[in-house]
Structure 1
Amino acid sequence: MHCSPKDSVAVFKDVKAKRTLAMHWGTWVLSSEGVLAPVEELKADCAEAGVKDGKFMACGLGDMTFI
């Protein structure tokens, strides 16, 4: 599912997910925002919604993440 950082946090909470991994951010330049802006926004939205650290993660550019 593709959605904004704020919407993705809402979905995370609505479906009562245990963990979520954001990916494909920074793949294409589609706006004038900085490449890290979506991840920074996601972190802020998670904090605002009370999502604990490590429950909603974002892959780093070029990183592999093991679940």
Structure 2
Amino acid sequence: MHCSPKDSVAVFKDVKAKRTLAMHWGTWVPSSEGVLEPVEELKAECAKAGVKDGKFVACGLGDMTFV
């Protein structure tokens, strides 16, 4: 499912997810926004919604995470 950062956090909370992994960000630039802008916005939305660190993960390019 493709969502804006704000909508992604809303879905995370609505489905009561334990952890979520943001995917495909930085794969292509669909607009005039900077390539890192979506992940920065996601972090801000998580902070606004009170999502704890490590619960909604957006790996850096080439990084790995364990779920």
Q: Which TM class, normalised by the smaller chain length?
A: over 0.9
Number of residue pairs matched by the alignment: 67
Normalising to structure 1: TM-score of the pair? Answer: 0.93
The gaps in structure 2 that reach 5 residues or longer are: none
Give the secondary-structure state (helix, strand or coil) at the position aligned to 1:52.
coil
Distance 2:59 2:9 in 1: 16
Distance 1:9 1:29 in 2: 21
Q: What's the % identity of the aligned pairs?
A: 91
Structure 1 residue 64 corresponds to structure 2 residue 41: no
Structure 1 residue 60: deviation in Å?
1.1
The gaps in structure 1 that reach 5 residues or longer are: none
Normalising to structure 2: TM-score of the pair? Answer: 0.93
Match of 1:20 in 2: 20
